[in-house]
Amino acid sequence: IDIFYSDGFLKLGSMHWLASWRQAAVYKRRRYTRMLKVFIAIALLLTCMFNLKLLIDAKLKYEQHKDIDVDIDDVAYFHRSMLEQKPTVDSINLELVSSKNLVSVKVNNKLVYEDQQAEAGRGIHVVVLNQANGEMMGSQVFDTFIEGQDELMIQYLKAINDENRMIAFAVKDEASMNLGRKTKIYLETLGSKMVGRLGWRSTWVMLCYNNGQLINEEMKSTEVNNEWAQPIHMHAHVKPLTVKDYSSCKWLDSIESDRRREFCSRYEGYGSLCDCQHPQEISFPTRKLENNRIYDVPVAVIASNRPQYLYRMLRSLLQADGVNKNNIIVFIDGHFEETMEVSRLFGVKGIYHTPSGVKSSRISQHYRSSLSATFDLNPDAEFMIIIEEDLDVAPDFFSYFNQVFPLFQSDDSIYCVSAWNDHGYHHSSDDNSLLYRVESMPGLGWMLRRSLFVEELEPNWPGPEKPWDWDMWMRHPEIRRGRECIIPDVSRTFHFGTSGVNMNNYFHRLYFQNHRINEERNVKLKNVSLLSKDKYEVLMHKLIMRSSLLDHTRSPCDDDFVSPASPSGQSYVGFFKMDDANHMTDFLAILKCLKLWDLDARGLHKSSFRTFVNHRHLIFVGYPASPYSLYKPVGLELLKVATDKNR
């Protein structure tokens, strides 16, 4: 090509000038054509490289999250959902049912909510509906037959963010027994004209907007105490209203904000999570642990259809020092989309589990499946941490396990490490650096060894036909085989759940509400190495020998059993009747007097028990069952328990 711009070309004779000019033009066109082809080839090459990179990134993301039942490509999911908005309906036709055995909500002849379980679902059912299309955005059941549930209902209603949301209320069985005046007044602010007259076994339905505008309401009563009011089938027709536009919220431009917008457009009842001005955080700064030995230990979260519980628990867990979000897996017992979306909201992996069994056996099968799947998905893991969806965790939750981990690795006599103290109430736990060995399995946030599960627990796990509680089974002497668990004096978890198969608000108030949870970071646990099997025996003997003797003329039920004037900073020992390791009468009576867990025997070590009373460390020794009985002074009368005094 260069020859057409060389001196030789200009020296051509005039005879050949025209032909040469035409030839030069042809060569120029060919040159431009070749340049264009080169440019196109480069563009195609760059396009191929870009697409290849996208495929590689997608493959890496798939490999990272291939165990999740849903696609968690956040950006793609958000934009896809924006394109898949359902069309606006012309009208919303609703039907609400309230009766003894059934509550239901239909929208445009489609059943969106129903509860007809036998011996379950008593109380007021609250269903939140999208005011634009009638889709269900949340639901809760509040058993207002039991004290305290009405207060929880107020909390849930106040957590509804959009003032134009439709709210449906329907009573199943009975709801008046402990529906307090404060709650009735709040329901009246939402538009109710009848709830103040709600009586024994009345049926009641109400449909309103969150701003207090009543749509419709009906109530039926009964005059006969042993009968229920007639069922209610209430119909309502409403025009669709606009919904809150979360795309206009001035949140940070991030994947977390995309997930938040998507979640808030589909679900309600999460309060300030969806606040445009001051949203609750879902992403937290990483607080590293020095010498973190458990960073790669997987964490299994046992969940079901309680998404608000999971939301609270994950916020707590992800703020604990040393957390590794990539190692957390939420196992959901059933195909509950809202629970899965809560996991997605925090960028945590989630897996659905097909339920098997009913009630306690269903929970037991879910645990077995979750533990097995965790070890299968983490073939190099020799340990795992298990936590339930209804637990808060302390800021040093992982620090606690990290400090005890070397002991757990080296001592086969340790059955588990638990973050929970069954007797760790505000009045009975005092030292957040103190640890115990106990002959029980507390659960509620605990660490499990792979070899124990694979070789002993999994092969013998109760089948779905057996209505057993998994934790009670694990506490059985034939399963535990003399091994003990390590527990803290001050728990590292708090059981906030007030509803469940084995839980209600009354039971929670009695045994769980007053539990203490550690609130400090960077707690240095004391004498961890002394918790090994042999060293702990030496420690116990030394503690009892150095302890002051309690006044055995006083009963543990007496308010002044341990005087606040007693010297602090030392231990006290008392001896009570325990003929053998299975004789628990006096022990349970002492627990009842001290307002501790008294439904069964927990927290014992060789027929002895440690706790705090008035900030004084006490050791109770069962005589003559305990080997520490040799320290009982000759002639000393055993502690007498006034069994007529109880809670």
Instruction: Please report the beta strands in 229-377, taking only residues with DSSP state E, as ranges in sequence order.
Output: 232-238, 299-303, 328-333, 349-353
Report residue 383 CA to chain centroid gap: 20
74 annotated active-site: no
DSSP 487-527: EESSBSEEE----BTTB-HHHHHHHTTTB-B---SS---S-
Question: Can you read off the two tokens belonging to residue 548?
Answer: 């002051």
Query: Model confidence over 459-515: pLDDT tens digits?
Result: 999 998 888 889 999 999 999 999 999 999 999 999 998 877 777 778 888 898 999
Give pLDDT, residue 54.
56
In the predicted model, is pLDDT for residue 524 greater than 50?
Answer: yes
What average pLDDT does this structure show over 628-635? Answer: 96
Cross-strand partners of 383: 449
* Cis geometry, peptide bond prior to residue 624 (ω within 30 degrees of 0): yes
pLDDT at residue 585 is higher than 70: yes
- Average pLDDT score over residue span 268-296: 93
Mean pLDDT throughout 365-391? 97
Beta strands in 345-483 (DSSP E): 349-353, 383-388, 391-393, 414-418, 435-438, 446-449
Task: Return mean pLDDT, the chain.
Answer: 88
Q: How far is CA 644 from CA 60, 342, 555, 558, 575, in A?
A: 66, 48, 12, 12, 20
Task: Record the pTM.
Answer: 0.83
**Residue in 77, 35, 521 with CA at minimum distance from that of residue 265:** 77
pLDDT exceeds 70 at position 532: yes
Higher pLDDT, 49 or 541: 541
* Number of Cα atoms under 13 Å in the Cβ half of residue 375: 18
Bridge partners (DSSP) of residue 216 are 207
How many Cα atoms occupy the beta-carbon half-sphere of 75 within 13 Å? 5
Catalytic residue among 258, 390, 396, 586: 390
457 vs 56, more confident: 457
Active-site option among 392, 396, 471, 598: 471
Q: How many residues does the chain have?
A: 647
Instruction: Give, in order, the Cα–Cα distances in Å from 297 to each of 67, 324, 391.
Output: 17, 9, 19
Query: 414-418 and 123-129 as β-strands: parallel, antiparallel, unpaired?
Result: unpaired
CATH number of 299-529: 3.90.550.10
Q: Yes or no: say if 139 and 114 are a contact pair by the CB < 8 Å rule.
A: no
Q: Is the dihedral of CA 604, 606, 608, 610 positive or negative?
A: negative
Q: Map residue 456 onto helix, strand or coil.
A: helix
Three-state SS at 150 = helix
Enumerate helices (H) and strands (E) in the chain, giving the number of each: 17, 23
Per-residue confidence (pLDDT) for residue 50, from 0 to 100: 63
Under a CB-based contact definition with an 8 Å cutoff, are residues 617 and 548 in contact? no
SS3 of residue 479 by DSSP: helix
Of the candidates 173, 127, 123, 169, the one whose C-alpha atom is nearest the C-alpha of residue 144 is: 123
Residue-by-residue DSSP string for 78-134: HHHHHHTPPPPPS-EEEEEEEBSS-EEEEETTEEEEEE--TT---EEEEEEE-TTT-
What is the rounded distance in angstroms from the CA atom of residue 212 to the CA atom of residue 204?
18
pLDDT score of 24 more than 90? no
Q: Is 253 a catalytic residue?
A: no
Please report, for the chain, the start and end positions of each structural domain, with discontinuous segments joined by +: 88-238, 299-529, 532-631
